[in-house]
Structure 1
Amino acid sequence: MKRTRTVIVAALASSLLVLTACGGGSEATGATASPSSSETIVIGSANFSENVLLAEIYAQALEAQGVTVERKLDLGSREDLVPQLQDGSIDLTPEYSGALLTYFDDSTSAVSSADVYRELTEAVPEGLEVLDQSEAEDKDALVVTEETADKYNLFSISDLKDVAGQLTLGGPPEWKTRDDGVKGLKRVYGLDFGRFKTLDAGGTRTVASLKNGSIDAADIFTTDPNIATEGWVVLPDPNNLFAAQNVLPLIRSDKASDTVQNALYDVSNKLSTDKLTTMMVQVTMKEREPAEVAKEFLTTQGLV
């Protein structure tokens, strides 16, 4: 007898139609002429498409306010980016609240959006700061195919405990050591997967591997439209291994001028999970350039 599983569809049917449908940008907050500015910001991004998209949104919003922006995109993982922020190689990067908090404080037990953000503001080391977080959230998720869920009677991550040894888990290389990755799955759920296959951060290699069956479970972001289009199952996380993951800017404190903070606040104020998911449909399914999709979003929101 089948119980009901939680399958994230996240209103993607309407998202697949047109990006501007979620725009709602009649409130033109940034459509006036841009002020001149001598500021320069170097924006870095992680090596997955959503983070590149977010970096482009930040970059174009800042440029609209007269800030000179240098882009260093697709640099690597958080473990690569934070040191570059600290040594001044880059000034700003899009981040995710819960994962960033765990990076700075792996003993945290914060789960809710408010608690995670409060602790994060205290955990960020001197010289760096996080600006206002957005409503938009994108979590890591443990995803399996419907066939795998049926075969092993999987309804949450907990159900993997007795079968994980027979399965191959796929994810980015940093997941092998992160507390919200392989280590956390073992600590929180007692999972010992038979094999870990190093792939990318929820990107094309991970998606292809889950499709072709070379892995049985994957770390895929919840805004990925492939989840809905492929009918994959997002296994619920009853023990809250994956905390709130609100999108927010991580910036060098000496670069957080009023102009920069105001521009990025306006972005965070307009960015929602639905809008981010819709944009990711355009980037991943429609294969549009992140810069083009970013410009369209900012235009519909009245920010450029």
Structure 2
Amino acid sequence: MTRTRFLAAGLLLAAVVPLAACGGGGDPLAPASSPAAGGAGGSTAAAGSVKVGSADFPEAALLGEIYAQALEAKGMTVTRQFNIGSRETYLKAITGGEVDVLPEYTGSLLNFYDKNAKVVQPDEVYAALQKAVPQGLTVLDKSAAEDKNSLAVTKDTANQWSLKAIPDLAAHQADLTIGAPPEFKTRQQGLVGLKSVYNITPKEFRPLQSQATVEALKNGQVKAANIFSTDPSIAANGFVVLEDPQSLFGSDNVVPLVRSDKADGVKSILNAVSAKLDTTSLADMVKQVVVDKKDASAVAKTWLASAGLA
């Protein structure tokens, strides 16, 4: 979801804090603070403290919980600040020092900092991102896990309009309604890129969040929807993800974004997480949280144990 990681409320409320609007007024973090309880084995932290944040969709909060528990397992004190908002909001939080660590996505973050970036291959995107992040921030090792933005349609729409790839939508612009998170309207990995890359301008854009986007697609209220590639609703509903021949959405590997003054203290721990995290594992964990309604902290704990990280 851009990664707008879409990716991103009804079905999702049970396991993760409700999605927040991407407002920018005041201190977005004040009500969300939740100090962690002790480190591994119930010991209090002796290795320092860190504030872990996340964007306002379930996968991001899940990844934040994975990072938090991995750090706690090594004796750090962690404060959780999850579901802060969209990228436009939570990047202000990390640059301002309200949080120290965020799970991010390589391609989407690169596009945020460099709207003219043309690289699309994972290693090229990561290398460019390392140069693009502003002073005071750094990215640690990227993981193999990838969750990309995508445009999805129902099977009926795909058959009716003969759709296989995003460019096929151009012939149906007069009837095209797209549902996506609000920020999709102004992002390159959104309506701006659809116009500049594919010369597609929908008849209507409907700003929606997460499950509301899925429901709107299922019910025919929108003809296409921005849904993250790991979202279990794609398989559950038989949605057709349109091919992206010009790589508008590019590669999007999960990567920790960290304040530089905290990097030395968390680097080895979070790099170990990235070394173990892959797309299959991530998609399975998201399903457990979103579909199976399991608690995100329990899902994170189980995965970390299986990976030998807790």
1:214 matches 2:221: yes
Residue 287 of structure 2 is matched in structure 1 by 281
Match of residue 151, structure 2, among 129, 133, 142:
142
Residue 117 of structure 1 is matched in structure 2 by 126
CA-CA distance at 1:81 after TM superposition: 0.9
Q: Any residues of structure 2 matched to 1:97-176 within 5 Å, and which?
A: 97-176=106-185
Residue 297 of structure 1 is matched in structure 2 by 303
What is the number of residues matched between the two proteins? 271
Is the contact made by 2:44 and 2:77 (CA closer than 8 Å) also made in structure 1?
A: no
Amino acid at match of 1:264: L
CA-CA distance at 1:83 after TM superposition: 1.1
The separation in 1 between residues aligned to 2:107 and 2:184, in whole angstroms, is 15
Is the contact made by 1:161 and 1:190 (CA closer than 8 Å) also made in structure 2?
A: yes
Is the contact made by 1:34 and 1:64 (CA closer than 8 Å) also made in structure 2?
A: no
Residue 46 of structure 1 is matched in structure 2 by 55
Match of residue 267, structure 1, among 246, 266, 273:
273
CA-CA distance at 1:231 after TM superposition: 0.8
- 1:114-144: CA deviation from partner (whole Å, max 9, x where unpaired): 1000000000000000000000000000000
The separation in 2 between residues aligned to 1:33 and 1:52, in whole angstroms, is 23
CA-CA distance at 1:170 after TM superposition: 0.4
Residue 16 of structure 1 is matched in structure 2 by none
Amino acid at match of 1:242: F
Could you tell me the percent identity over the aligned residues?
47
- 1:207-243: CA deviation from partner (whole Å, max 9, x where unpaired): 1111111111000000011111211100000011011
The separation in 1 between residues aligned to 2:291 and 2:271, in whole angstroms, is 29
Change (3 A) 1:241 1:250: same
Amino acid at match of 1:220: I
**Which aligned runs of 4 or more in structure 1 are off by greater than 4 angstroms?**
31-36
- 1:142-196: CA deviation from partner (whole Å, max 9, x where unpaired): 0000000011010100100010221210000110000111100111001110100
Secondary structure in structure 1 of the residue aligned to 2:227: strand
Residue 232 of structure 2 is matched in structure 1 by 225
Is the contact made by 2:151 and 2:242 (CA closer than 8 Å) also made in structure 1?
A: yes
The separation in 1 between residues aligned to 2:81 and 2:246, in whole angstroms, is 37
Residue 95 of structure 2 is matched in structure 1 by 86
Residue 208 of structure 2 is matched in structure 1 by 199
Amino acid at match of 1:295: K
Change (3 A) 1:289 1:95: same
Residue 253 of structure 1 is matched in structure 2 by 260
Change (3 A) 1:165 1:227: same
* Structure 1: 5+ residue stretches without partners: 1-30
* Structure 2: 5+ residue stretches without partners: 1-39
Amino acid at match of 2:233: N
Is the contact made by 2:105 and 2:255 (CA closer than 8 Å) also made in structure 1?
A: yes
Residue 8 of structure 1 is matched in structure 2 by none
Is the contact made by 2:101 and 2:256 (CA closer than 8 Å) also made in structure 1?
A: yes
Structure ranking higher on relative contact order (CA contacts 8 Å, 6+ apart) = 1
The separation in 1 between residues aligned to 2:173 and 2:296, in whole angstroms, is 36
Amino acid at match of 2:144: E
CA-CA distance at 1:34 after TM superposition: 8.1
Is the contact made by 1:92 and 1:251 (CA closer than 8 Å) also made in structure 2?
A: yes
The separation in 1 between residues aligned to 2:156 and 2:205, in whole angstroms, is 20
Amino acid at match of 1:84: A
Q: CA RMSD in A?
A: 1.5
CA-CA distance at 1:40 after TM superposition: 1.1
CA-CA distance at 1:36 after TM superposition: 5.0
Amino acid at match of 1:246: N
The separation in 1 between residues aligned to 2:208 and 2:114, in whole angstroms, is 26
Change (3 A) 1:34 1:139: farther
> Could you state the TM-score of these two structures normalised by the residue count of structure 2?
0.85
1:234 matches 2:247: no
Amino acid at match of 1:269: A
CA-CA distance at 1:37 after TM superposition: 2.4
Amino acid at match of 2:208: L
Amino acid at match of 1:230: N
Secondary structure in structure 2 of the residue aligned to 1:250: strand
Residue 59 of structure 1 is matched in structure 2 by 68
The separation in 1 between residues aligned to 2:267 and 2:43, in whole angstroms, is 15
